[in-house]
Structure 1
Amino acid sequence: MDGKSLTPQELKLQQLKKILPEVFAEGKVDWEKLKATLGEDINFANERYVLNWAGKSEAFKVLQSPTTKTLVPDKEESVNFDETKNIFIEGENLEVLKVLQKSYFGKVKMIYIDPPYNTGNDSFIYPDKFSETKAEYEKRVGDKDEEGYLTKDGMFKKNSKENGQYHSNWLNMMYPRMFLAKNLLKQDGVIFISIDDNEVHNLRLIMNEVFGEENFVECITWNKRIPKNDKGIGNIHEYILIYVKDSSLKHEFIMRKEGLNDIQKLLTKLKNKKTNIPDSEKEIKKLYNKNGYDRGITLYNSLDTNYKLWGKINMSWPNANTFGSRYEILHPKTGKPVNVPDRGWRWKKETFDEAALYSDGNYQNIIELQDGSLMCGRIWFDKDENTQPSSITYLEEVESFLLRSIISLKSDGGIEVEKLFEGKSYFSYPKPTTLLSTLIQSFPSNDEDIILDFFTGSGTTAHAIMNLNKEDGGNRKCISVQLPELTNEKSEAHKAGFKTIADIAKERIRRAGKKIKEEIKEKKTTKEKEIEDLESQLDIDGKDDKINNLKAKIEKLKNQDLGFKVLKLSNSNFKQWQQIKNNDAKALEEQMKMFVDPVSENATIENMVYELLLKSGKDLNSTLRQAQGYIVVNNNELIFMLEKATQKIVDAVISEQPQKVIALDRLFKDNDQLKTNTSLQMKDAVIEFKTI
């Protein structure tokens, strides 16, 4: 274990070796064998379609270089550290993505990022001169002030439009991050990227190169409804690019209709107050008018006796060039035939009869509504035969439709953040949680699915995930990554004690979690009241199922994860071998002395545990059990021996029957016999044993 992360090319080679082992010779790719196996010539002609820019080769070098960095836990800044599975990582995101490669390779279901738009006023990290060496770049990226905060003068470079490599700098920043991000996605994963017109064209090109043009899904136009008037025109939109990892898998993106939560709150209130149906319908229409919902909502404006909204759907044949079935339908009250549409009926007679509960010449269940109209099963009739009947569809049956290529949402991310911070504006132009919720819900996700945001900003993604989990009982997990970028000393945020953007994001997530916890209490109380009401009623179809369903929802609400682990990017806990220049014997001797004990002076047991988890490919939510003298990972998958080694401890470790044991070499100092015996015992027990 050399302390370095696996590079993207090493991971790709491992994958290729699994699929095509025959094209490898002495551990390396035999290109002639590869060409023969694939049955095609590889075209190396100079003239071909290719995306290029100043510094692309340097971007590749940055991408391909491993990192020796690690992540160290910060329990004081965390919320419910030992139980939560949400993660907040503070650090430069390129290095963080490299650190996560082994542990989270192919494990992330969805990525959302809101990177710098390259407006000419953005500051971000990029090599500011292409002659800059990797060592120089890393030194600059590590620039910190006396208190340990990253400095704008060192790490960040302003990318003004006057810069001759204005677009190239942005591409050099984005390219390696997109490459590493793709590695983390599951095979059925998706990435959403917010962008505006400054770089949408270039982003599309690099995404086509990294993800493959065939994996492009859509360029969503987000109508943010807050005009920006710096071009002599009211610019009210941005873009969201969508790419999937593998387009050969079936992907369907859906969108929940806007306003459903507000509508459900009103219906629950009306039902609890036992408001009569006509007055309840008036209240519903008032809400519709107030919020200006589209027809996908307003069509559903009638209530049944259970306060469920339904709407009338036209039964005329929809195609102007053909004709539907023509048959006689009798009105259930007058017994006379209703008017037949000019182009016939949408349904066949058998389908209509089944929906209307019509058999043996009679309607089996006729319900007269307050206005004198009639419901027969799933068919609505007016008072007499002069109006064509309609089919009945409930709003709860059509809450979603395919995600639209234009999204308009009535919400303001800035106001959301201000409400959490007593009206103070600490962050400019945060995305609204409704936008993130729309994107997250558009893509099917299961419990425990991971959503990653490595340009976290104010923490909108984490906030949106907690909100969504509260609403639908989900258990999505979030990994947020944010640079500890200094806030402006003159800003309200800095004056309030938020020295970095990461500080704002962490506090926002804490406050959002507290607010959602209170909302969960209210929701739980409402559902308990619904159970009481159901239990007090006698003749209700499916009563037990409804009660059990409500109890299951209450249980999910109880188990909501509103915490987050804070981890910070840091230097390795283990000393790194440095290249010796000019065969300097003295420098070599000093380095050899240093490596008598490879553990860094400031290393702690806990910090070493998390570094070894990452280096071993275990995720940051691995279960840890502290035993006498060792630490057990994930029910004996792995054991760390980091404190001491005795024969008794070795015997105890072997009795756990782990798959692998990692021990510090210094534990066996001056006791070679114990080390040799331990190695032999582990081998006999078929346990992989490594020392560092």
Structure 2
Amino acid sequence: MSNPIHPTSQTPQDITLAQLKQIMPEAFSEGQLDIHKLTALLSEQNIAPAQEAYGLSWAGKHQVYRELKTPTSQTLVPEPDESVNFDTSQNLFIEGDNLAVLKILQKSYHSGIKMIYIDPPYNTGNDRFVYADDFSESIADYKARAGQTDEDGNLTHSDGMQSNRKENGQYHSNWLNMMYPRLALAKSLLREDGVIFVSIDDNEVANLRLLMDEIFGEENFVAEIVWQKKYSPQNDATYFSLNHEQILCYARSLNNFERNLLPLNEEQIKRYKNPDDDKRGVWKSSDLSVATYNQDYDYEITTPSGRVVSPPQGRCWNTSEENLEKLIKDNRIWFGKDGSNVPSVKKFLTETNDGVVPISLWGYKDVGHTQSATQELRKLMGEKIFDHPKPIRLIQRAMKISSSSDDIILDFFAGSSTTAHAVMALNAEDAENGKAGKRKFIMVQIPEVIDAKDNQSAYEFCINNNMPPNIAEISKERIRRAAAHITSELPESVDSKALDFGFKAYKLADSNFIPWQQPASYDADSLMAQLEKHLDPIVDNATTDGIITELMLKEGYTLTADVIEVDGYYLVTQNDALNQSLFNSKASENTTDTAMRLAIVLDDMTTSKATQIIARAPNKTLIMDRAFSDDANKANIVLQFEDAGLVVGCV
């Protein structure tokens, strides 16, 4: 549908408001700019809205805006020993609080994710989830405050997650405070043609719909999908047997989102028959009339039996008389066995290559149910370790509708990593059909502690497999086992080495760099003590890989960029930059080479090393201050880079 023509010329204000609505739909209410919301979102001060308009409001909402703008000093550290094919895999598993992780990924993955699927806590009254954290504090301090460690630093049975009981006076508000910043950060990670699917049930579906309307804009609502999660009624239900859940689907920008068609299922294929033995194969009838009236297409048709028929009242045929004659000669119009029926168009199965339009009702026969999901997980893990996993086919349907073979799929409530399993299985299915099958996943899961009293089977599974008893460990183990299972069932015609069944593991950690702390007093001794800490700002337990990863992320390089050591420095190369605008430099002008390169020098910076780096013309070079022998050495080398027209920074 085309946009309506403005009766008058657009003013600069109209254009500005339209642009602002695209950038910040959450600042608008019923199409009008809410200046109080805009101020709360953009102000550096903690401002509560003075006046509320139509929309979703809850206790602590204005605090969410502050938290959303609060940066994190934390970083990610690589864990090669917990990974599979760390050096080559393009898949990621990140262990840590998803709010902090989403903040860390903002620069590297901004507008780079095609599809997000999440299965967050449903707020049933028994859920536990993480509340707002102070990201200026260290992880060690947070663990102590949240109850994860005792006074001596020993782990306790608590993981810092808190129950949200219905008796709580801010029961819904707590859940909304948890969801809002995560969804807002997720939105900025989506591509312009990206889409998000969020599973939910009746407890919060109404609030979630309003929340996502505010964050994504109600004009970007795609569908509310109903998933039939049970195949039989629950006879002990108090009122109704709840046999379904909802999945809310929103586009980053509905104008840019294009959904794919779904392949026909077995039941749909069975509807195709061949009663007239047409040599083109089985077919099914399609209505020849349409509701969009066109007088030129409103005419009488004489059937082979001599009966004269007209379009139904208020409708017309979908083609002209001239073209209808061509279709009849080509035996594409069906008048019934006796030749007297109202004509219909023959749609041949062999010509139905594009598939069918997805519907909003997803039955268990097509996408599975909770029991089949439990069986899938039991088959992999050997026992039932989760009560409500999602079926693989459910996630795959969302991916088939909204992604192609090279896209990145994100799930920041990974749970048992059903989404990762679904990505690998769909890639294998594509490979069997001769397609590329190169979708990539990013899983994020907090290491939620498993209490033996709450889930004995999951706890024993971890202990028996020499794993810490937490959800993240089970999540990683499922990916490993799912990869092995899929590989074992691949036909010989498929090269398993061409498929990515690995993942790079990372964990949330404190920065490798010592933060500046305001001295308790400004006397000379206090200031000198603080300055001495920053002569070499690297923390004692920092690793080279950790430092490189942190610098990569801060410069906007992805976690799958190539890193090699060359002649005493590190060269980071990214061939698939998600946001080319982040890497503008003279080194990339007037060249067809789209690879982005970052040089990192940690130690022993010399003029000869500078010459070698300059010859490679990286987009940027970062040099640790400690790498320079003295100030003169630093000044000369910086001048070398500037004379070559290259960007250099000192850390």
Query: Structure 1 length as normaliser, TM-score?
Result: 0.73
Distance in structure 2 (CA, Å) of the matches to 1:468 and 1:148: 44
* Gap change, CA 1:399 and 1:427, over 3 Å in 2: farther
Distance 2:116 2:135 in 1: 31
Q: Which shifted more, 402-411 or 197-206?
A: 402-411
Are 2:413 and 2:445, in contact at CA under 8 Å, matched by a contact in 1?
yes
2:592 equivalent in structure 1: none
Distance of 1:388 and 1:154 partners within structure 2: 68
Q: 1:176, 1:568 → 2: CA distance? A: 21
2:262 — aligned with what?
A: 256
Q: 1:486: how far off?
A: 1.3
- 1:488 maps to 2:493: no
**In the alignment, what sits opposite 1:75?**
80
1:298 to 257, 262, 270: 270
Counterpart residue number, 2:348: 394
Matches of 2:613 and 2:404, distance apart in 1: 36
Matched position secondary structure for 1:662:
strand
Q: 1:519 aligns with which of 480, 483, 489?
A: 489
The question of 1:479 aligning with 2:442 is answered yes
Residue 87 of structure 1: CA displacement?
Answer: 0.7
Which one is further off, 168-177 or 465-474? 465-474
Classify 1:315/1:569 alpha carbon distance in 2 versus 1 (closer, same or farther; 3 Å). Answer: closer
**CA offsets, 1:360-384, max 9 Å, x none?**
xxxxxxxxxxxxxxxx5x5679887
| Counterpart mapping for 1:111-510 below 5 A | 111-127=116-132, 139-140=142-143, 144-145=148-149, 153=158, 155-225=160-230, 230-247=237-254, 249-254=255-260, 256=262, 259=265, 263=266, 293=267, 296-301=268-273, 310-313=282-285, 317=289, 325-327=299-301, 337-338=304-305, 340=307, 342-343=309-310, 348=320, 350-355=322-327, 358=330, 378=332, 391-395=345-349, 397=352, 400-410=355-365, 411=368, 412-422=372-382, 424-443=383-402, 445-472=403-430, 473=435, 474-490=437-453, 491-497=456-462, 498=467, 499-510=469-480
Contact 1:312 1:390 in 2 (8 A): no
- The structure with more radius of gyration: 1
The answer to whether the Cα contact below 8 Å between 1:434 and 1:464 also exists between their aligned partners in 2 is yes
CA distance in 2, matches of 1:350, 1:151: 81
Structure 2, unaligned runs of 5 or more: 1-18, 24-34, 40-48, 312-316, 574-594
**Cα separation, 1, equivalents of 2:550 and 2:288:** 66
TM-score between the two structures when normalised by the length of structure 2: 0.77
Distance in 2, Cα, partners of 1:108 & 1:680: 39
Cα deviations by residue, 1:232-260 (Å, 9 ceiling, x for unpaired): 3210111111122223x15454552563x
1:619 aligns with 2:558: yes
| Aligned-pair Cα RMSD in Å | 3.6
Q: How far apart are residue 651 of structure 1 and its match?
A: 1.8
- Bigger mean CA offset, 143-152 vs 50-59: 143-152
Q: Measure the CA separation in 1 of the matches of 2:357 and 2:191.
A: 23
* Alignment-derived partner of residue 660 in structure 1: 620
Counterpart Cα distance in 2 of 1:148 and 1:465: 39
1:571 aligns with 2:531: no
Distance in 2, matches of 1:77 and 1:303, equals 59
C-alpha separation in 2, matches of 1:152 and 1:124: 15
Structure 1 unaligned residues grouped into runs of 5+? 1-14, 20-30, 36-43, 264-292, 330-336, 359-375, 525-553
Residues 586, 619 of structure 1: alpha-carbon distance in 2 compared, 3 angstrom cutoff: same
- Choose which of 69, 76, 82 in structure 2 pairs with 1:64: 69
- Secondary structure (helix, strand or coil) at the match of 2:246 reads strand
Equivalent residue letter for 1:637:
R
Q: 1:582 to 1:83 in 2, by over 3 A?
A: same
Question: For the Cα contact (< 8 Å) 2:620–2:646, is it kept in 1?
Answer: yes
For the structure 1 residues 449 and 304, does the alpha-carbon distance in structure 2 shift closer, same or farther, using more than 3 Å as the test? farther
1:577-596 correspondence to structure 2 within 5 Å: 577-583=516-522, 586-596=525-535
Aligned to 2:630: 671
Q: Deviations over 1:170-225 (max 9, x none)?
A: 11111111111111111222111111111112212222222222222222222212
Distance 1:686 1:319, change over 3 A: closer
Structure 2 residue corresponding to 1:645, chosen from 596, 605, 614? 605
Aligned to 1:653, the other structure's residue is in SS state helix
1:389–1:72: structure 2 CA closer, same or farther, 3 Å change rule? Answer: same
Indicate conservation of the 8 Å contact 1:127/1:169, yes or no. no
For residue 136 of structure 1, report the CA deviation from its aligned partner: 10
Paired residues of 2:301 and 2:309 also in contact (CA < 8 A): no
In the TM superposition, residue 488 of structure 1 has moved relative to its aligned partner by 2.4
1:432 partner letter: P
Measure, in 2, the Cα distance between the counterparts of 1:208 and 1:150. Answer: 41
Task: Map Cα deviations across residues 331-381 of structure 1 (whole Å, 9 max, x no partner).
Answer: xxxxxx4465744787555435544655xxxxxxxxxxxxxxxxx5x5679
Per-residue CA deviation, residues 467-516 of structure 1 (Å, 9 max, x unaligned), is: 22222333221111001111222521221225111111111111221222
User: Relative to 1, partners in 2 of residues 1:516 and 1:136: Cα closer, same or farther, differing over 3 Å?
Assistant: closer
**Given residue 408 of structure 1, which amino acid in structure 2 is its aligned partner?**
G
1:642–1:667 contact (8 Å) kept in structure 2: yes
Contact 1:73 1:607 survives alignment (8 Å): yes
CA contact (8 A) 1:426 1:504 kept: no
Deviations 1:39-70 (A, max 9, x none): xxxxx973533533222233233222111111
Q: Determine the structure 1 residue equivalent to 2:13.
A: none
Label 1:305 to 1:90 Cα distance change in 2 as closer, same or farther (>3 A). farther
**d(CA) in 2 for partners of 1:94, 1:85:** 22
Provide the C-alpha distance between the structure 1 equivalents of 2:154 and 2:309, rounded to a whole number of angstroms: 75
Amino acid aligned to 2:425? N
Cα 1:162–1:636 change in 2 (3 A) is closer
Distance 1:688 1:304, change over 3 A: farther
Match of 1:520, SS? coil
Cα separation, partners in 2 of 1:118 and 1:586, compared to 1, 3 Å: farther
Give 1:311 deviation, angstroms: 2.1
- For residues 387 and 286 of structure 2, what CA distance do their matches in structure 1 show? 47
